[in-house]
Amino acid sequence: MRQLFRLLPLLLLVNFLPAQQPDAPERKLESLLLMPEPKAMRGAYSIPLLNSKKTVFTCYRESTAEVSGVEAYSVEAFTKLGLSVESFAARAKAAADKRLLQLKPELIKGEDGRIAYAVYRGDSPLHATLIVAPSLPKIFAELFGQEIWVAAPDRHALYIFPAKADLLDEFAADLAERYTTDAFAASCEIFSIKAGAEPRVIATFAGDE
């Protein structure tokens, strides 16, 4: 009986201990990415967009083996997909849309207290790929209007502006610095995006090496 009373506190303690939670499943690596990058880096699976002279969009995938976290497809790896570049691009846009809807942009206010621009940024090297997401202009239509101007100077950020040239001039120097100093530069061009239309280049904020 005495042994039972000695064990009772331990039994009660065990009952109140939190149950061990199963490990969360690892996130599946993205295999369908259209990565904007300087035209000089174009490869076998790169495509240009309308009016783009300095940027190509290359078929990429996430990789745990690469320091950057992403890698362009090799011929062997791409062949195994059984897709054309056009089919890959269509699927990559749909995949970008899914990622976009899971993220919240940072809204930056100007001196007048109004929202001047928005930005998606962070450690992930996938932010620049959001530029091809079809829902992007719809998300910002109420805030900035039916046309938005978008910049991705490096892989870790995507900037969204209203279609105003004077505002863009204000940020051109900062965008150029990010593009020229980042080891993983994306694009030195500004893209005009409207719902139902392909992104179209309207300006350049830095030269291409």
pLDDT, tens only, 160-170: 999 988 877 88
The pLDDT, as a whole number, for residue 167 is 77
pTM: 0.84
**DSSP-derived 3-state class of residue 118:** strand
The pLDDT, as a whole number, for residue 192 is 95
Helix (H) or strand (E) holding 190: strand 189-194
From CA 107, how far away is CA 164, in angstroms rounded? 17
The pLDDT, as a whole number, for residue 198 is 86
Mean pLDDT, the chain, rounded, equals 87
Tell whether the model's pLDDT for residue 6 goes beyond 60: no
From CA 183, how far away is CA 67, in angstroms rounded? 11
Euclidean distance between the first and final Cα of the chain, in Å? 84
From CA 92, how far away is CA 89, in angstroms rounded? 5
